[in-house]
Amino acid sequence: MSRLVRSELRKYFTTRMWWGMALAMFLVGALFAAFTGYFTLYGEMPVGEAMIRVRDAVPELTMVRMIYSGGIQFAYMLSLVIGVLSMGQEFRHKTISNTFLAGPRRHQVIFAKVAALIAILVVNAVAHIAGALVGGGVLLATAGESLFPDVAALGQTFALMALILIVWGLIGLGLGVLISNQVAALFVGIAFALIVEPIVAFALTFFEGWDVLAKFFPSQATTATLSLYSGMDPALGEAMGAGGDQLTWWAGALTLLAYAAIMTLIGLWLTRRRDIT
Amino acid sequence: MTEPALAERPAARPEAAIVVRDLSKKFGDFVAVDHLSFEVAPGRITGFLGPNGAGKTTTLRMLLGLIHPTGGSGLIGGIPYAQLSRPMETVGAALEATNFHPGRSGRDHLRVLAATHGIPDSRVDELLALVGIPAAARKRAGGYSMGMRQRLGLAAALLGDPHVLILDEPANGLDPEGIRWLRGFLRHLASEGKTILISSHLLSEVEQTVDDVVIIANGQLVRQGTIDELHGETTALIRTSNARGLIEALRAAGLEAGDEPAQGPGAVRVVTADLVRVGDIALAAGVPVHELRVLRTDLERLYFQLTESPENRNRNLADGSSADTPPPGALPHDLPPPDLPPPPADLPPGASRPDASEGSDR
């Protein structure tokens, strides 16, 4: 079993994708943190009649957290891509035959892929958070703000960011098994997260009682996990994109883990049955 | 070509290395493999032959646990592949020469597989040297020629030093030099006592290499036996101006002889491989001899007859999905049975052979 994990790790780190992806994660972290930093430190938002400076209206910790996690939405899309490709590439290049010849007990191969993917996503999360610290840190420092107003709370935020990236990667893995054409799988995954989910959430607001479901959707649960809008004036939060009522951070995290578990189980079930022609 | 190496190898022992029992696979309505049973003897090279679309690849993939059979079973050393504890050390398989990530080097491809069985990198390098691509293996596989891909596939199959090898069309896409290398390589492996099952849609490709053959068509067994059995009895051909006199003399000497009009005028066929004796009998009888040679069965033609007889004709041809086998005629029932009139012996090589590329063998 540990040998299968080792094989999967070798698989990932022997193509150029691994450092290209890590670099992308770093840059996404840095650029989005810098943009978010510029906006929250120097921007103004209309709240009711008045224009207020974001910097004055948001608690310091919330602001810093928002800056460092500015790129998370883009980053978890990259995680999704990593997850989809870890299965999709095998189908695309037909290496899946070799993989199952070397590991004919297919559930073991899937568990090995999950374990390796978690390790791979931790590497990418580190790259992403490092980028966020560089991009956000420069803006905070030049504005005279503290880089780490609350070390423990920010540590939790970074850990949760890593969790989000891991969970979206595992969702991607399940998707990659479900849809063996990697381009189609990527398209479905990204279209669902960016287009379908917001539309369905919006549509649900028209149905009494059903709108509570929206907060369990993957993107909403992701936002909730980071407690991005905590301690903020609700009107300002809404103006910045907080979607109505949100799960607590731990409920958000559990919801995401449930998605990852369901996708992995679907992947296991499908993989065991599939004919590799 | 004489094959001294073949004679030294052990004859088929009763316990088979590979047993395929009543194996069937349907893809929807399409029956790819139809109650197929055969055995592969240990320590021998068995050719697994059949035209494109006969079900060879599907059979091999079922044997290797990649495709779930609709019925029946395939066992390797008495065990289904999926239950082997260290599969790469029992069975080595090379299925397609395209199974590589183009961005990964050939060496890393092997290292990925080696990791699953804890095989060290030194073994990887050893095999790359054995198949003759040590330098190229450090480049990305996307740029490999077909020959290099086949060699890399063979190296992958050998990683765990298995005693059973299953090779699907290993000669596909190889140039003549590559095929010659492959023959030598397979003989080398066989001399180590390995059991080799090698599929091909061309009998001529493996004729000089294999000990046994299993011929299938339309997912069903057509013939199984040793290559010598397929050759049939060895006969000699004598051309003379006095066929009747020669036949009488040969029969008087206790040999089975008769005229052979298919070989042209004055041709006599006699069941023996002893040309010296035939010549002596002719001289003693005072019959002039214009030609005297061993008449080998044209295996390619025999194979073609076996696989193209009406009940075995490739069902894919009707819908054109295996168009690379030249169809003998648009309407099968318009044709005379192919095994009745023997076609001329000097059939141009390749005239009746499918194209080397095999895209639709499912």
Residues of chain A falling short of pLDDT 50:
none
> For residue B334, what pLDDT is reported?
36
**DSSP character string of chain A:** -HHHHHHHHHHHHTSTHHHHHHHHHHHHHHHHHHHHHHHHHH-EEEETTEEEEHHHHS-HHHHHHHHHTTTHHHHHHHHHHHHHHHHHHHHHTTTHHHHHHH--SHHHHHHHHHHHHHHHHHHHHHHHHHHHHHHHHHHHHHTT--S-SSHHHHHHHHHHHHHHHHHHHHHHHHHHHHS-SHHHHHHHHHHIIIIIHHHHHHHHTTSTTGGGGGGGSHHHHHHHHTTTTTTS-HHHHHHTT--SS---HHHHHHHHHHHHHHHHHHHHHHHHH----
Going from N- to C-terminal start, the domains of chain B cover 8-230, 233-295, 302-334
pLDDT of residue B91: 95
Residue in A4, A6, A94 nearest the CB of B98:
A94
Decide if A236 is inside a domain.
yes
* Interface predicted TM-score (ipTM) over 0.90: no
Report the CATH architecture of B8-230.
Answer: 3-Layer(aba) Sandwich (3.40)
Mention every residue, 6+ apart, whose C-beta is less than 8 A from residue A206. none
Q: What are the tens digits of pLDDT across the range B280-293?
A: 999 999 999 999 98
Q: How far is B339 from chain A (nearest CA, A)?
A: 34
Distance from CA of B95 to the nearest CA of A (A): 8
**pLDDT by residue for chain B (362 residues), tens digit each?**
444 444 444 444 447 899 999 999 999 999 999 999 999 999 999 999 998 889 999 999 999 999 999 999 999 999 999 999 899 999 999 998 778 999 999 999 999 999 999 999 999 999 999 999 988 889 999 999 888 999 999 999 999 999 999 999 998 888 888 888 999 999 999 999 999 999 998 888 888 889 999 999 999 999 899 988 887 777 888 999 988 999 999 999 888 888 888 778 888 988 888 889 999 999 999 999 999 988 766 677 777 777 777 666 666 555 444 434 444 433 333 334 444 444 444 444 444 444 444 444 44
Q: Is residue A230 assigned to a domain?
A: yes
* Cβ contact A136:A70 at 8 Å: yes
B87 → closest Cβ in A7, A97, A102: A102
B82 → chain A, closest CA residue:
A104
Specify if A244 maps to a domain: yes
For A107, nearest residue in chain B (alpha carbons): B82
* Residue-level pLDDT at B197: 96
Query: What residue numbers bound the domain in which A6 lies?
Result: 2-27+70-130+150-273
Q: Which residues pair with B26 in a beta bridge?
A: B31
> CA-nearest residue of chain A to B103?
A15
**Which residues of A fall within a CB distance of 8 Å from B83?**
104
Q: Residue ranges of the alpha helices (H) in B131-217?
A: 146-158, 176-191, 203-206
Minimum Cα–Cα distance from B118: chain A residue: A3
* Residues from chain A contacting residue B149 (CB–CB below 8 Å): none
> Does A89 contact B101 at a Cβ distance shorter than 8 Å?
yes
B84: nearest CA partner in chain A: A104
What pLDDT score does A25 carry? 97
Across the A:B interface, residue pairs with CB atoms under 8 Å apart total 82
pLDDT of residue A243: 58
Q: Which CATH architecture has domain B233-295?
A: 2-Layer Sandwich (3.30)
Residue B31 C-alpha, separation from nearest chain A C-alpha, in angstroms: 15
Identity of the residue in B65, B103, B115 whose CB atom sits nearest the CB atom of A3: B115
Q: Which of A101, A107, A111 to mutate to test the interface with B (most CBs of B within 10 A)?
A: A101
**Touching check for B297 and chain A: CB below 8 Å?**
no
pLDDT digits (tens, 9 = 90+) for B262-272: 778 888 988 88
Tally of domains in chain A: 1
Encoded tokens for B339: 């095994």
Helix (H, G, I), strand (E, B) or coil at B270: strand
Domain-embedded: residue A36: no
Give the full edge-to-edge strand order of the sheet including B235-239: B257-259, B267-270, B235-239, B291-295
| Interface mutation vs chain A, best among B61, B99, B108, most A CBs within 10 Å | B99
Instruction: Answer whether B179's CB lies under 8 Å from B171's CB.
Output: yes
Confidence at residue B357, expressed as pLDDT on a 0 to 100 scale:
42
Inter-chain residue contact A98 with B102, CB threshold 8 Å: no
Cβ-Cβ contacts under 8 Å for B62 (sequence gap 6 or more): B23, B25, B33, B68, B69, B74
Residue A249 domain-assigned (yes or no): yes
